[in-house]
Structure 1
């Protein structure tokens, strides 16, 4: 049987956050009641809140238009073609992943299948990283359930 080893107490580390670290932190939900079904803030608001002197020299992000492809009372079409996913946002729940579709707005990735959800996240990340156009299908709840890159 091994004998317990005495450990030295750890020193407290001050909880200071630099401006660069704050700019890299994901945005906090707007209210305490925000959950996986609550869409994240618009990317323009996230960018404005995290602007630093170094960011001022960077080129401006593309215009993010929130208009969707709507039919009648706000129902969207099933398949949407040739769109760009420009931003990703996730909540602290496994199924709380949203993508910003340029020209459409925030769309939640469907959490119906845990394995399928992981693949949707991977494809959305690839499309964002490589600036690839996507085609996607929305389910009856308006969530992306199929993604073609």
Structure 2
């Protein structure tokens, strides 16, 4: 749910000018997400959104610039080190087992890392399915994921 909401937030702020948490909460509710101000505030922090000027002393939320990839990598490493139990694969699918309740956060961080070999992730409570393309890169992805687990 969180990763879907995060994707929706990024779509919203790329599509329209959102200058306040209240405006973002309203847009999310219109998109079908039941959110509180605290949830929106946490999402903004987790996504690393920044405020940029739009003129007339007004600002809008924007995605972080690419130079923020370092904090994303550190977050991903920390999540893997703290939450991931083991990895396995079959064909072009990688399965990541996490502690209960941790899969969505890990999947979201992995999605935000924008690895070109990963098409996407699907997360449950303690299991993540990672789709890799092309199949020949599964070993490379597994090695990178294992490196994250080792810290």
Kindly indicate which of the two structures has a greater share of residues assigned to helix.
2
TM-score, normalised to structure 1, is 0.30
Which entry has the higher C-alpha Rg, 1 or 2? 1
